[in-house]
Amino acid sequence: MMLLAEASSGSDASEILSLFWAVLAVAVAPIVARAFRGFVPDVVVLLVLGMILGPFALDWADTADLETISQLGLGMLFLLAGYELDPQLLSGRPGRVARLTWLASLGLALATISLARSSADFTARIAVAIALTSTALGTLLPIIKQLGLLDRPLGRAVMAHGAVGELGPVLAMSLLLTSRNVGAAAVVVALFGVAAVIIWIVPQRMLTGMPGVGRVFADMAGGTTQLPVRVVMVLLLTLMTVAEVFGLDVVLGAFAAGAILRRLIGPDHPTMGHSLEVLGYGVFIPIFFVTSGMGIDVEAVVGEPGVWLLFVVSIAIARGLPVWLSERYVPHGANLPSPRERAQLALYAATGLPIIVAVTQFATSAELMSNELASILVAAGATTVLVFPMMARFVGTRADRPPKRQSRADLSE
């Protein structure tokens, strides 16, 4: 009994120590990002700090000790993505063009990978292709807001392609990264959709048919109760559990939970939105990125700089190039007329990281991808978050510069 107690005490101490280092990294990251005047995104700092703390560097923290809280962070990240996703962005001709553009990106990425690694397992090639064609809308949204682009044509275009760049990979993971054939996987996804609709209808009927329920939620929304936030966590874990039971990735369940939440309370609910952002971005989501950084093999990335650079270029080509071509040559009624804006859109659309992390985690656990390759791919995704928005801002800044004044000598001529 004493030996069991000592073993349990040692395990708890290890978990608390890992959590301490992770939380310290979470607190330090925004300060470091601010020191770089916002040019280094907070998420990149979190990944780097995770790399330093993880088993491939200082080995001060263990990913196994943070697995549960990391999964909650992943769930919160995609719940907020689903909650922020405006369904209107996926409708109409611009939405249809954005969907077709993403499918073209996936086809281009898969064809390129198949030519380069024809001997690799097909599911492994699909995993890399999905990772190369994602868009980090949740990461881009604060940047777009900060630059005042959200209500401008460029901002709306980024939101449309970003929405498809998140939803498309999530569905592709559920349909293609599975041991089932595509037809069987589609049936399972459809059954999951039915379950999600049922889970949505029950609280919807309660809110509309029983006004007292809404008053109870309003009365218990503050103070030490925070009932709505607790119910949202139940909704999140319910959908993630249903996805797990159906053999699907929990990311799909989290995304569905966010979409259901948007339908239940609407997008303009400041109290709920603020509470979820505090809970998600304050604790769970940063720890998810720190834990993801712990899984990056630093030696693998440093030892294969050519592969890392190749992945960065591949993401730019596979995701950014089709977006630029569609915006330039496929009329949809809201095309960006400026070449600089089209270049900015392509760079923003090629910015991807959360889906890359989710895909590589699934692929490594399913033994479809080595940890070394996954590390390089995540490092490439972090590079796109660091470099591509910065390049887009530089292109936009040059476009906004006033024309150079002519000198008096030029005017006299």
| pLDDT averaged over every residue in the chain | 86
Higher pLDDT, 212 or 345: 345
Identify whether 13 is part of a domain: no
Identify whether 410 is part of a domain: no
Q: Is 406 a residue whose pLDDT tops 70?
A: no
Identify whether 2 is part of a domain: no
Identify whether 408 is part of a domain: no
Q: What is the rounded CA–CA span in Å between residue 73 and residue 257?
A: 14
CA within 13 Å, CB half, 90: 14
Q: Is 347 a residue whose pLDDT tops 70?
A: yes
Q: Is 315 a residue whose pLDDT tops 60?
A: yes
CATH number at residue 93: 1.20.1530.20
Identify whether 8 is part of a domain: no
pLDDT tens sequence across 116-166 = 887 778 888 999 999 999 998 877 877 787 778 878 899 889 988 998 998
**The pLDDT value given to residue 189:** 93
pLDDT tens sequence across 232-246 = 999 999 999 999 999
Structural domains counted in the chain: 1
Identify whether 183 is part of a domain: yes
Identify whether 267 is part of a domain: yes
Q: Is 336 a residue whose pLDDT tops 90?
A: yes
pLDDT tens sequence across 4-50 = 444 444 556 689 999 999 999 999 999 998 898 877 888 889 989 99
Residue 222 is part of which domain span? 32-398
Tell me 328's DSSP state: H
Identify whether 404 is part of a domain: no
Q: Where does residue 407 rank: exposed (0-12), middle (13-18), buried (19+ CB within 10 A)?
A: exposed
Q: What is the rounded CA–CA span in Å between residue 118 and residue 112?
A: 10
Tell me 407's DSSP state: P
Q: Is 412 a residue whose pLDDT tops 60?
A: no
